[in-house]
């Protein structure tokens, strides 16, 4: 890695701001650096690689640029789309150490939930709480670790997209016990597979069934049933009331069309929402006392009988297998052209531009339809699309907080012992993993994130990271090892070449030179190891690093 | 790039010197450059405090005369008279009183500055915190497709300038995370924690990177021409300039704070808001959250502590503002009330109807607003919670109209036409 890195560093120095390194009058007002690079018609070869990695990884690094350069873009992407690149051993070890990650929801409930007794001490209660929160913590930590260290970056990007597309929140009741399985068997399993398979997996998953309340949705009680309940429940008026009030819950049916497939108010009406909800009545979660608790469980007695019409199509009641009605609805939605268009738009927004053109969305939608929603094929099609490498897309996307954090950790080659402080940082920057307050998931366009208050938090995070103030996270000393103590005017460029994949803008370059000059004036003997972190903070907080 | 905005910020941000100028002079300076002079008198300010977690309306605005209240809450009810162990309710009228920890608000009620509203809430039945909070902050119960906050929609609708971030200090959130009510197209500064403001090194570094001002690069690769005005560089520049300006405002001893604020997060935030308002930089909307009102267990002491902070803080805030208080309205809200009946843990569970406290401005206070329906089982929502007789959107619309002089246009509250709340202003 270090050899590639050094080679690329040299390359960047030559291509970009090399003049600085050899210019003795380094702090002069006028720096003729970026002049040679008048905006070219298209991206040059290096820029193409950087752009490609900006979109298809969670943080382009100079080392990765070198790797892709050696292998070729398409070959690299093809290998990535298999999702079978060997993971670094230490990542595998770290993931293995997390004992909940491979467990089923039932096992998690069994091993991590201990209700403290009535006489439990505060300490016992706290320990029980911590135990119960362990799976959620390991889940979110694993996402950070994989994002930073995984060799399968395209899969991580896709998982990031669909974790938000099919968002569930750890903050809603038992979801925190079921989300580990959700991430593993919905998001990750199908991240490079068929969209339809992922949709179906999410629709059957207890985390989703609970999160969007479908497990509560059922046909209204018949008058006879109410009478019977009233007779039996004389002493329990609440039970009668509950029975009277039970009924259809439209929550999931609506989001299924609005957020997961067709897009808001696209093709469907309120009647469709009600009918889809009816088809899905009975899709619930197996209770604790069942042999396999916290799994998909169809409750026939909840199911709404009778004909349903969804998107103009009649769903015939299936007496022998009423669950099949819901499956039919899902198939209908998966094959719908509105879904192809909606998912294509989303992929293009994440991977091409905040405002993708109709043309590119149309082309990707066609691939989606043709391949029956093969996500890997869609990703390849985006890479091969004539618009993908358009200069207007280059460095045109603002990083989300998650992308900012992961890319900063990747760029600095940080060693992560403990993710807790990183998770807190994501809370502060308003994007805690698996805790989006809305079923919409976190948005992926600049409007949602680019506001001044949030910006200053990135600067703080950059400074904290560089200065070693994030507990459990360490920027390796080696980052500073080759800074020549007697040539402080080179420090910035050397560090920039290690952290950034694009040349520094004239403004940033100038500002950092100025900053270094001033620090030297204050303390001519300042060590590279002392001032280096401040330069790193400046680089990570620079406009260049906020974009991808 | 917008020259007038830059100049505007620079003039306002010169530092303590210019901010120490008499307010009028400062406003003239600003106005000369960026605005017509007619705007000199400072406009009204609205401060929204959101109590997250579903604050217990029945123990804030206590129906002390209702025997049912004591039947439903044998261990946590606020007693009508004080006893050896407990303070009694602070009676406001023949029906309602305030929690004793809110004693500091009583003089304001008597002076017609405080208007509690009973049975406020949402027509939506959700008892989920985040749904209820989101719905409320967006002024759009049940409408998940709506992503803008009601306060942001107000700022956006009244934004006179086409360059959207011209008037940064029209609104601030007194916390790192922008409350949802302030999210939307109009850029609002979420004031970061003090560690950012007070980190001289950090400020110095990014001031250089984003605000050097010596070089403004022409649009190059990436970030198409039309997007330049909202570029990362501009956002960074706004961040630096606004932070500096904000810091100066907070530093400036505007004839000293008159009041003593509680020494806690709420006191600090209210003090900061008061300081910004008194600096006269055109603040129209400020908002912040106070967490932790989800009292499922042992409600008594905890609620008491928090209400003491709230009451003392609000009283200090109004005192501190002096005559400006008549131009400043505070609205305290929460996503829902709690169950009328206490649960088995001396707490209460998620309920429905809640209450609001409005204070300051040109309110017609000194009376409890809203329609009280009582606590008989038949009058409760789903036989357990306080009913909602005033839709919170009605109050929002009334606040916008009565205080900020803004008539909410059709569909400002999606698919809803607010009804007037009689006699509030």
Judge whether B420 lies within some domain.
no
Q: Which chain A residue's Cα is nearest to B199?
A: A460
Q: Does B349 touch chain A (CB under 8 A)?
A: no
pTM beyond 0.80: the answer is: no
pLDDT digits (tens, 9 = 90+) for A314-331: 999 998 999 999 999 999
pLDDT confidence bin for A233, thresholds 50/70/90: low
Rounded to whole angstroms, the Cα distance separating B424 from B257 reads: 29
Judge whether A40 lies within some domain.
no
pLDDT confidence bin for A429, thresholds 50/70/90: confident
Number of structural domains in chain B: 1
Q: Does B80 touch chain A (CB under 8 A)?
A: no
* Contact between A534 and B205 (Cβ < 8 Å): yes
Give the residue numbers spanning the domain of B44.
18-193+257-402
Percent of chain B residues past pLDDT 90, beyond the cut: 52
- Using an 8 Å CB-CB cutoff, list chain A residues near B176: 428, 453, 457
- Using an 8 Å CB-CB cutoff, list chain B residues near A508: 209
Considering only residues B248 and B141, tell me which one the structure prediction assigns the higher pLDDT: B141
Is it the case that residue A434 has pLDDT exceeding 70? yes
Q: Which chain A residue's Cα is nearest to B237?
A: A452
pLDDT digits (tens, 9 = 90+) for B403-418: 999 999 999 999 999 9
Q: Are residues A223 and A312 in the same domain?
A: yes
* Contact between A207 and A168 (Cβ < 8 Å): yes
- Using an 8 Å CB-CB cutoff, list chain A residues near B238: 452
> Which range among A451-455, B237-241, B302-306, B382-386 has the greatest average pLDDT?
B302-306
Token readout for A253 is 């049916």
* Contact between B148 and B170 (Cβ < 8 Å): no
Measuring CA to CA, which residue among A174, A168, A164 is closest to residue A208? A168
> Which range among A21-30, A53-62, B175-184 has the greatest average pLDDT?
A53-62
pLDDT digits (tens, 9 = 90+) for B264-317: 989 989 998 998 888 777 899 999 988 889 886 678 999 999 999 999 999 999
Average of pLDDT values for B177-189?
Answer: 80
Is it the case that residue B33 has pLDDT exceeding 70? no
Average of pLDDT values for A208-212?
Answer: 93
User: B199–A460: do the CB atoms touch at under 8 Å?
Assistant: yes
User: B227–A396: do the CB atoms touch at under 8 Å?
Assistant: yes
Look at A143-147, A157-161, B223-227 and tell me which has the smallest mean pLDDT. Answer: B223-227
pLDDT confidence bin for A376, thresholds 50/70/90: very high
CA distance B257 to chain A (A): 26
- State the pLDDT at residue B239: 82
- Which of B202, B211, B224, B415 to mutate to test binding with chain A, by most A CBs within 10 Å of its CB? B202
Of A428, A440, A514, the CB nearest to B208: A514
Q: Are residues A310 and A209 in the same domain?
A: yes
pLDDT digits (tens, 9 = 90+) for A435-452: 987 788 888 888 778 876
- Which of B9, B221, B345 to mutate to test binding with chain A, by most A CBs within 10 Å of its CB? B221
Judge whether A436 lies within some domain.
yes
- Which of B136, B165, B205, B210 to mutate to test binding with chain A, by most A CBs within 10 Å of its CB? B205
State how far Cα A213 lies from the chain centre. Answer: 23
pLDDT confidence bin for A257, thresholds 50/70/90: very high
Look at A210-219, A350-359, A477-486, B361-370 and tell me which has the smallest mean pLDDT. Answer: A210-219
- Using an 8 Å CB-CB cutoff, list chain B residues near A43: 221
Is it the case that residue A246 has pLDDT exceeding 60? yes
CA distance A383 to chain B (A): 18
- State the pLDDT at residue B47: 97
Look at A371-375, B74-78, B352-356 and tell me which has the smallest mean pLDDT. Answer: B74-78
Neighbouring C-beta atoms of residue B227, cutoff 10 Å: 16
User: B144–A439: do the CB atoms touch at under 8 Å?
Assistant: yes
Is it the case that residue A480 has pLDDT exceeding 50? yes
Rounded to whole angstroms, the Cα distance separating B148 from B140 reads: 9
Look at A173-177, A188-192, B25-29 and tell me which has the smallest mean pLDDT. Answer: B25-29
- State the pLDDT at residue B95: 97
- State the pLDDT at residue A244: 65
Judge whether B212 lies within some domain.
no
Considering only residues A375 and B239, tell me which one the structure prediction assigns the higher pLDDT: A375
> Which range among A286-290, B50-54, B113-117 has the greatest average pLDDT?
B113-117
**3 state SS of A404:** helix
- State the pLDDT at residue A27: 39
Considering only residues B406 and B20, tell me which one the structure prediction assigns the higher pLDDT: B406
> Which range among A528-542, B144-158, B259-273 has the greatest average pLDDT?
A528-542
**3 state SS of A410:** helix
Report how far apart, in Å, the C-alpha atoms of B358 and of each of A139, A231, B81 are.
43, 48, 26
Token readout for B182 is 């302030």
**3 state SS of B98:** strand
Judge whether A109 lies within some domain.
no
- State the pLDDT at residue A238: 66
Rounded to whole angstroms, the Cα distance separating B134 from B128 reads: 10
pLDDT confidence bin for B240, thresholds 50/70/90: confident
- State the pLDDT at residue B222: 40
- Using an 8 Å CB-CB cutoff, list chain B residues near A172: 128
Is it the case that residue A2 has pLDDT exceeding 90? no
Judge whether B59 lies within some domain.
yes
State how far Cα B417 lies from the chain centre. Answer: 23
Buried/exposed B26-40: b ≥16 CB within 10 Å, e otherwise: bbebbbebbbeeeee
Rounded to whole angstroms, the Cα distance separating A504 from B220 reads: 13
Look at residues A304, A328, A352 and tell me which one is the last residue of a structural domain. A328
pLDDT digits (tens, 9 = 90+) for A22-38: 333 433 334 444 444 44
Look at A260-274, A496-510, B115-129, B176-190 and tell me which has the smallest mean pLDDT. Answer: B176-190
User: A459–B196: do the CB atoms touch at under 8 Å?
Assistant: yes
- Using an 8 Å CB-CB cutoff, list chain A residues near B242: 452
Chain mean pLDDT for chain A = 89
Is it the case that residue B392 has pLDDT exceeding 50? yes
- State the pLDDT at residue B256: 65
Judge whether B155 lies within some domain.
yes
- Using an 8 Å CB-CB cutoff, list chain B residues near A515: 204-205, 208
Give the residue numbers spanning the domain of A322.
201-259+268-328
CA distance A145 to chain B (A): 25
Is it the case that residue B195 has pLDDT exceeding 50? yes
Number of structural domains in chain A: 2
Q: Does B232 touch chain A (CB under 8 A)?
A: yes
CATH of the domain at B130: 3.40.720
* Contact between B349 and B343 (Cβ < 8 Å): yes
Buried/exposed B150-172: b ≥16 CB within 10 Å, e otherwise: bbbbbbeeebeeeebbbbbbbbb
User: A455–B235: do the CB atoms touch at under 8 Å?
Assistant: yes
Look at residues A289, A306, A328 and tell me which one is the last residue of a structural domain. A328
- Using an 8 Å CB-CB cutoff, list chain A residues near B128: 172
Q: Where are the beta strands (DSSP E) in B87-157?
A: 90-91, 97-98, 114-121
Q: Length of chain A in residues, anyone?
A: 548
User: B177–A428: do the CB atoms touch at under 8 Å?
Assistant: yes
pLDDT confidence bin for B25, thresholds 50/70/90: very low
pLDDT confidence bin for A248, thresholds 50/70/90: confident
């Amino acid at each position: 890695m270090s050899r590639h890195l050094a080679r690329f560093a040299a390359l960047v120095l030559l291509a970009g701001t090399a003049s600085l390194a050899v210019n003795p009058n380094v702090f002069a007002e006028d720096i003729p650096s970026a002049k040679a690079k008048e905006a070219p018609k298209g991206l040059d070869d290096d820029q193409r690689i950087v752009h490609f990695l900006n979109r298809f990884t969670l943080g382009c690094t100079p080392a990765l640029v070198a790797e892709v350069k050696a292998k070729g873009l398409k070959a690299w992407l093809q290998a990535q789309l298999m999702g079978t690149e060997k993971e670094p051993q230490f990542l595998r070890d770290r993931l293995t150490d997390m004992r909940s990650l491979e467990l089923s929801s039932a096992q998690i409930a069994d091993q991590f939930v201990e209700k403290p007794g009535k006489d439990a001490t505060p300490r016992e209660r706290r320990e029980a709480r911590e135990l119960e929160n362990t799976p959620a913590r390991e889940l979110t930590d694993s996402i950070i670790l994989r994002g930073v260290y995984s060799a399968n970056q395209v899969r991580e990007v896709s998982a990031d997209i669909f974790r938000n597309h099919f968002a569930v929140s750890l903050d809603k009741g038992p979801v925190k016990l079921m989300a580990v399985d959700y991430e593993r068997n919905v998001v990750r399993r199908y991240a490079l597979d068929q969209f339809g398979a992922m949709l179906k997996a999410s629709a059957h998953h207890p985390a989703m069934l609970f999160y969007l309340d479908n497990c509560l949705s059922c046909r209204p009680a018949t008058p006879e049933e109410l009478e019977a309940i009233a007779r039996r429940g004389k002493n329990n008026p609440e039970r009668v009331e509950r029975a009277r009030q039970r009924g259809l819950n439209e929550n999931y049916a609506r989001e299924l069309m609005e957020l997961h497939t067709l897009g808001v108010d696209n093709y469907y009406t309120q009647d469709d929402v009600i009918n889809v909800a009816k088809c899905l009545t009975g899709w619930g979660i197996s209770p604790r006392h069942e042999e396999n608790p916290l799994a998909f469980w169809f409750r026939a007695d909840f199911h709404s009988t009778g004909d349903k019409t969804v998107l103009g199509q009649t769903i015939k009641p299936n007496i022998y297998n009423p669950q099949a009605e819901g499956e039919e609805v899902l198939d209908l939605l998966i094959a719908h052209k509105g879904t192809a268009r909606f998912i294509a738009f989303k992929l293009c927004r994440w991977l091409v531009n905040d405002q993708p053109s109709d043309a590119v969305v149309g082309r990707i939608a066609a691939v989606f339809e043709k391949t029956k929603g093969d996500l890997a094929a869609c990703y390849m099609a985006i890479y091969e699309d004539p618009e993908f490498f358009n200069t207007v897309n280059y460095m045109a996307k603002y990083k989300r907080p998650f992308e900012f954090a992961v890319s900063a950790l990747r760029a600095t080659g940080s060693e992560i012992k403990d993710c807790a402080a990183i998770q807190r940082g994501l809370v502060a920057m308003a994007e805690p993993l698996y805790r989006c307050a809305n079923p919409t998931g976190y948005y992926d366009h600049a409007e949602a994130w680019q506001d001044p208050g949030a910006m200053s938090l990135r600067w703080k995070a950059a400074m904290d990271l560089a200065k070693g103030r994030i507990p459990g996270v360490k920027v390796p000393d080696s980052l500073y090892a080759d800074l020549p103590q007697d040539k402080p005017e080179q420090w910035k460029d050397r560090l920039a070449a290690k952290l950034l994949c694009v040349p520094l803008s004239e403004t940033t370059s100038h500002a950092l030179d100025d900053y270094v000059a001033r620090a030297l004036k204050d303390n001519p003997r300042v060590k590279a190891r002392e001032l280096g972190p401040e330069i790193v903070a400046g680089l990570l907080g620079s406009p260049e690093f906020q974009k991808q | 790039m917008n020259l007038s905005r830059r100049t505007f910020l620079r003039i306002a941000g010169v530092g303590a010197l210019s901010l120490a100028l008499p307010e009028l002079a400062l406003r003239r300076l600003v106005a000369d450059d960026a605005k017509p002079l007619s705007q000199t008198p400072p406009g009204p300010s609205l401060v929204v405090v959101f109590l997250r977690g579903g604050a217990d309306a029945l123990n804030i605005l206590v129906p002390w005369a209702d025997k049912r209240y004591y039947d439903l809450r044998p261990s946590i009810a606020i007693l009508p008279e004080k006893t050896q162990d407990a303070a009694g309710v602070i009676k406001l009228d023949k029906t309602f009183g305030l929690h004793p920890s809110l004693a500091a608000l009583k003089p304001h009620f008597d002076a017609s500055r405080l208007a509690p509203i009973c049975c406020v809430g949402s027509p939506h039945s959700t008892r989920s915190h985040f749904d209820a909070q989101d719905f409320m902050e967006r002024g759009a119960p049940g409408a998940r497709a709506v992503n803008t906050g009601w306060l942001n929609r107000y700022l956006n609708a009244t934004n006179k300038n086409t360059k959207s971030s011209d008037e940064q200090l029209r609104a601030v959130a007194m916390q790192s995370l922008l409350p949802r009510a302030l999210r939307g197209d109009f850029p609002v500064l979420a004031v970061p924690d003090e560690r950012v403001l007070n980190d001289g090194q950090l400020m110095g570094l990014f001031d250089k990177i984003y605000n050097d001002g010596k070089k403004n690069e022409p649009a190059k690769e990436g970030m198409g021409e039309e997007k330049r005005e909202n570029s990362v560089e501009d956002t960074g520049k706004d961040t630096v300039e606004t932070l500096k300006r904000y810091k100066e405002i907070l530093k400036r001893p505007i004839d000293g704070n008159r009041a003593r604020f509680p020494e806690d997060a709420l006191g600090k935030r209210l003090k900061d808001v008061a300081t910004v308002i008194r600096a006269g930089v055109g603040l129209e909307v400020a908002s912040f959250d106070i967490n932790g009102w989800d009292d499922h267990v042992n409600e008594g002491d905890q609620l008491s502590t928090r209400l003491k902070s709230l009451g003392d803080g609000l009283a200090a805030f109004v005192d501190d503002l002096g005559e400006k208080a008549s131009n400043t309205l505070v609205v305290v809200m929460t996503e829902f009330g709690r169950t009328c009946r206490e649960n088995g843990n001396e707490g209460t569970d998620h309920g429905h109807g809640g209450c609001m406290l409005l204070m300051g401005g040109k309110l017609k206070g000194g009376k409890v607003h809203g329609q009280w329906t009582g606590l008989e089982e038949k009058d409760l929502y789903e036989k357990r919670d306080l009913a909602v007789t005033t839709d919170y959107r009605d109050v929002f619309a009334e606040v916008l109209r009565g205080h900020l002089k803004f008539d909410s246009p059709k569909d400002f509250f999606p698919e809803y036409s607010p009804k007037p709340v009689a006699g509030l202003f």
